[in-house]
Structure 1
Amino acid sequence: MTDLEKEKSAADKLQQVIPESLEDQKNANAEMVLLHNSMKEKIATVNQENNSCVKRLDESDEYINSLQQKIKMLVNEKDTLIGRNRTLEEEKELFNKHFASSEDRVKGYTSELDDLRQKLRQQEETSADLRKQIQTLQDQLGDVEDKLKKQIQIYEDDKMTIGELTEKLHN
């Protein structure tokens, strides 16, 4: 085979291959266009999902920030309440000490009051006894006064009688 024949044979083969290759290329190109469109749809879907995720992350960040602010407020409030609780506990302890001291004083006063009541009862009993004795003595004094009056009357009567008798004797 000469060079020309070789070239012709190569050209024939190439002509046969080119249409097959062109058809394959068209098919491959169509597949690539479908694949490209499919990829565009997937990219659009992924972008939508990404945007949705970013939006949710932003919302979550805002929510987390609001929760952090609430936590700070609650921690401050807790610290304030702890301080107030300490103050109240100290006041309570002080009041308990004063209460215990007051209770001891009240017990002392109660004991003293009971003693004074006992003494008052004894004094009242003594007073009642003394009143009875005074009444008895007043009754006895009244009897003695009556007897004395009678004796004085008798003495006066006797004195008059003696005076009369003395006068009669002098006459």
Structure 2
Amino acid sequence: MATQAGLLYQGAIKELIHDFKFNASPRAGVLLCELMLMTQPQLTGQAFVSVPMHPANARERGFNQSYWLAKQLSHRLAVPLHTAQRVKRSRSQRTLNRRERASNLADAFAFQIPPPEHLVIIDDVVTTGATGHAMACAALESGAKRVDIWAVARTPLGKG
């Protein structure tokens, strides 16, 4: 499993991601997508999958930034979009430490349709890698052979 996150989640990038994630700013989303395309991984896999939100959280927020990015990248790079489901409603990861994040997301994701052999998870920020790890486990259990992560940014070391 490889993780590609070309930017650090700090300063102007942090503000841009926050505006995109919590205000559904299409302008911020377009800029983030362009930045991702400038730092794309060598292998884009056979399909992209976004980090799904639990249906209750999706209703509350009304916007899934990971899905928006995955859809844009899928269109721009002609890579199919695959789907996963969030089957466990878990607490927000923001205040949790590394161990709590992993436990919080255990068995949180499922694939109703088997994924292709090489799947790439699209996300906005990688902090500890717990979300990607939980999704990768679900994808591998469902038939994938390789799962990579492509995110806009990662938190600076020691901040997760």
- TM-score, normalised to structure 2's length? 0.12
Relative contact order, higher structure (CA 8 A, sep 6+): 2
* The structure with more helix, counted as a fraction of residues: 1
* The structure with more strand, counted as a fraction of residues: 2
